[in-house]
């Protein structure tokens, strides 16, 4: 039986984890990115503003982690978005569709009671690495 490699991903180009977890873990060709908050990577504080600004920074952090894992937004197969207030759904979608603008991945979005550091938005994803071909089946 062959051995599957488990890679722990850490990059200085995204905010560090705020608890005992890795930014991402790659198992075989699948990338599991931990929840990204709207944290400034240098100050480790939430960016000023509201859900739009936090979503922009969370997605920027997500992209940096994906890049470190030899992946990218074009290889994301599933996103999960956590919102402090589901009324921010539309505002977050406006930011989200600037990053995920074609061949959309599957996605879930939930309102949650509380997020780490009292954030307004957290985004996690599952992606692939290596060569990926997208096919649309109708």
- pLDDT per position as a tens digit, 6-19: 999 999 999 999 99
Q: Is 68 helix (H, G, I), strand (E, B) or coil?
A: helix
Residue 138 falls inside a structural domain: no
pLDDT of 2 reads: 87
| Mean pLDDT over each residue of the chain, to the nearest integer | 97
- How would DSSP label each residue in 74-109? GGEEEEEEEES-GGGHHHHHHHHHHHS-SSPPEEEE
- Taken as a whole, the chain contains a residue count of 138
Q: Report yes or no: 82 and 123 within 8 Å, Cβ to Cβ.
A: yes
Residue 136 falls inside a structural domain: no
- pLDDT per position as a tens digit, 110-135: 999 999 999 999 999 999 999 999 99
Q: How far apart are CA 26 and CA 32, in angstroms?
A: 6
pLDDT of 108 reads: 98
Is residue 36 part of the annotated active site? The answer reads no
pLDDT of 1 reads: 81
Residue 94 falls inside a structural domain: yes
Q: Which of 18, 25, 109, 126 is catalytic?
A: 109
pLDDT of 37 reads: 98
Q: How many domains does the chain divide into? A: 1
Q: In this structure, what CATH number is given to the domain that contains residue 90? A: 3.30.1330.40
Structural domain for 110, as ranges: 6-128
Tell me the pLDDT band of 83, cut-offs 50, 70 and 90: very high
């Amino acid at each position: 039986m062959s051995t599957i490699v488990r890679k722990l991903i850490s990059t200085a180009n995204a905010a560090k984890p705020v608890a005992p977890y890795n930014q991402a873990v790659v198992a075989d060709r699948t990338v599991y990115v931990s929840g990204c908050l709207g944290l400034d990577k240098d100050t480790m504080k939430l960016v000023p503003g509201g859900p739009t600004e936090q979503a922009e920074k969370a997605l920027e952090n997500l992209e940096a982690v994906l890049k470190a894992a030899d992946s990218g937004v074009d290889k994301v197969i599933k996103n999960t978005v956590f919102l402090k207030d589901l009324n921010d759904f539309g505002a977050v979608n406006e930011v989200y569709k600037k990053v995920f603008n074609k061949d959309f991945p599957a996605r879930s979005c939930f309102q949650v009671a509380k997020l780490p550091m009292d954030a307004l938005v957290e985004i996690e994803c599952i992606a692939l690495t290596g060569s990926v071909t997208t096919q649309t089946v109708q």
